[in-house]
Amino acid sequence: MTARLPGARVRTAAPVRAGMPRTYRAVLAAVWPIVRGWGGLRVAGADQLPASGPTLLVGNHDSAWDPLVIAAAVRGQRHIRALARSSLWNWGLLGRALDTMGQIPIGRGQADAQAIGRAVAALRSGACIGVFPEGTVSRGRRLRARSGTGRLALAVPEAQVLCVAVTGTVDISRFPRRPRLRVCFFAPTEGAVRPGESAGEFSARIMAEIRLRAPVAGQETTRVRR
């Protein structure tokens, strides 16, 4: 049984900001009935998300649904520009849709300086950038956090870092099992980059905090921990 998030509340289908890309708004509209109606989405800590300004959202990645569920959890508040694996752009229409949504392609398993540069520029202009330090879907494995998240935080120290723990997404496609989607936003215990902390150390520290609340999920639904 999935524990109830302290202070969690149902997210209603609030109007999405007009300034968001049309494709982004359309995807949110299509996803909402699934994550709310079928998944019973509950959200905690969304009030910590800044309404504007450079923001770095750092989350766990146990399912391809995670970016969509996070976007739905903040629906109407921020346009999230996520770093997504570049191979998705090979799928014609999907690649064009991702471009119009403002997503940023990044090469998996490599130091993609161009992608990091685009993300840094977007952050400095006040964007909300979503990153998954593990770099790929966990598939039940404990993965090493990559340094890209720390590189962004070091390059834009004025950006607010907000962690997001997501659970239940691995069950979305396991019909007739009904998922229990939970999203919890929280600030890192020790704040942003500490003096002398490297990019890799920062990424590992933040990911460890997230995994305390969202243990690796693969075969079975995991429990949200306080």
Q: How many CB atoms lie within 10 A of CB 111?
A: 12
pTM of the complete model: 0.85
Residue pointed to by tokens 């694996």:
85
- 82 part of a folded domain: yes
Q: Which helix (H) or strand (E) holds 96?
A: helix 93-100
Mean pLDDT in residue range 173-198:
91
Range of the domain at 136: 42-213
Euclidean distance between CA atoms 40 and 221, whole angstroms? 14
The size of the chain, in residues, is 226
- 225 part of a folded domain: no
- 2 part of a folded domain: no
Instruction: Name the domain count of the chain.
Output: 1
Chain centroid to CA 40: 18
- 158 part of a folded domain: yes
Predicted confidence (pLDDT) per residue in 26-67, tens digit: 999 999 999 999 999 999 999 999 999 999 999 999 999 999
HSE value, Cβ hemisphere, 13 Å, CA-based, for 85 = 14
